[in-house]
Amino acid sequence: MAAISPKKGSLASILRSYKSAVTKEARKIDPNFKWQERFHDHIIRNDPEYHRIANYIENNPLKWGKDKFNE
């Protein structure tokens, strides 16, 4: 089954184009470049969501030692 492409000019389309361009340039430096697994893009839509995500970014590294995927 073929994937459905995002509508031209939509944020999803812009992000797809950006990540494609970054991948192309990054692979010139490191042919093994790949995007982080278990990662998804997210649009921050309001102030409380921004603060929740900022708090996660600031405090998440403290938990890395307990992360089963951290090798």
Compute φ and ψ for 44, nearest 5 degrees: -80, 120
pLDDT range class, residue 68, cuts 50, 70, 90: low
Q: Are 55 and 49 in contact (CB under 8 A)?
A: no
Q: Are 48 and 54 in contact (CB under 8 A)?
A: no
Q: Are 41 and 15 in contact (CB under 8 A)?
A: yes
Q: Is the pTM of this model over 0.85?
A: no
pLDDT tens digits for range 36-50: 877 777 889 999 999
